[in-house]
Amino acid sequence: MRIATWNINSLRARMDRVAAFLERHDVDVLALQEIKAKPQQLDLTVLEEAGYEVAAHGLNQWNGVALVSRVGLADVRTELPAVPTWPEDETGVVEARALGGVVGDGLRIWSLYVPNGRELDHPHYPYKLRWLEALRAEGARELAADADAKVAFVGDFNVAPFDEDVWDMDFFEGKTHVTEPERAAFRAVVDEGFADVVRPEHPGPGVYTYWDYQALRFPKKEGMRIDFVLGSPAVQKAVTGSFIDREERKGKGASDHAPVVVDLEF
């Protein structure tokens, strides 16, 4: 089974690119982030005609996540247990940042769009840390219930776990994505048993999944590695290959992220 994750940065704007990507790489399951639409706003005809089921979760023109599968899609969930609201007060709502479903032969896959954090002194930063803690707790719960559970947390984590995951650490001084609390929150998920299954085959430095549209970051090779497939022990054992489709960052109308693709054989 081939799974992939991609921050698409507006599904309506890039539906044709998604359909072409699925066909070109023969993808079974695709997790999308930043779909930026409510489900009823999406015309899914091209995907459905290609044999895919789609579950989408979006509340407005921001955030939003989806799962696209041709190997079944069951037990769909639209939020992590105990995830914080934004804003974190009586006016807050659970944002559309997580969508989980069971695909194939019992793989629970979560499409995740972790909060950005914005600025170190912004309320969005502690919100991000609490969101990652909710993810860690869900991972711990899954493996406590079944140590052999097939679970994958995939998506845009908005964390660069290591210095080599950004082009220049000096540029990020005083900025989010690289701080120790964020990295510790990411490591906590990994330490529960969810390893980055792509890094062993594609180590850094210089291996990125995101390049800002501004300042010619892509042609300058000034990127960040912030999109991941974190697999439970059962998923780790099933990995037979992986790649980052850097070509999808090229061309007119490209997302600012590249898809991350993993092959599994259970």
- Enumerate the active-site residues: 113, 156, 257
Q: Is 156 part of any known ligand binding site?
A: yes
Which DSSP category does 85 fall into?
A: P
Q: Is 177 part of any known ligand binding site?
A: no
Location of structure tokens 């070509």:
247
Q: Is 148 part of any known ligand binding site?
A: no
The CA distance from 166 to 89, in Å, is 34
Over its C-alpha atoms, the chain yields an Rg (Å, rounded) of 17
Which DSSP category does 242 fall into?
A: E
Q: Is 202 part of any known ligand binding site?
A: no
Helix (H) or strand (E) holding 55: strand 53-57
The CA distance from 256 to 236, in Å, is 28
How many CB atoms lie under 10 A from the CB of residue 250? 10
Q: Is 63 part of any known ligand binding site?
A: no
C-alpha triplet 21, 27, 30: angle, nearest 5°: 80
The CA distance from 176 to 171, in Å, is 11
Of residues 92, 89, 44, the one with CA closest to residue 66: 44
Q: Prior bond to 219 cis, omega within 30?
A: no
The CA distance from 162 to 21, in Å, is 29
Helix (H) or strand (E) holding 181: helix 180-191
CB half-sphere exposure, 166, CA atoms < 13 A: 18
- Which residues participate in the annotated binding site for Mg(2+)? 7, 34, 156, 158, 256-257
- Which residues participate in the annotated binding site? 7, 34, 156, 158, 256-257
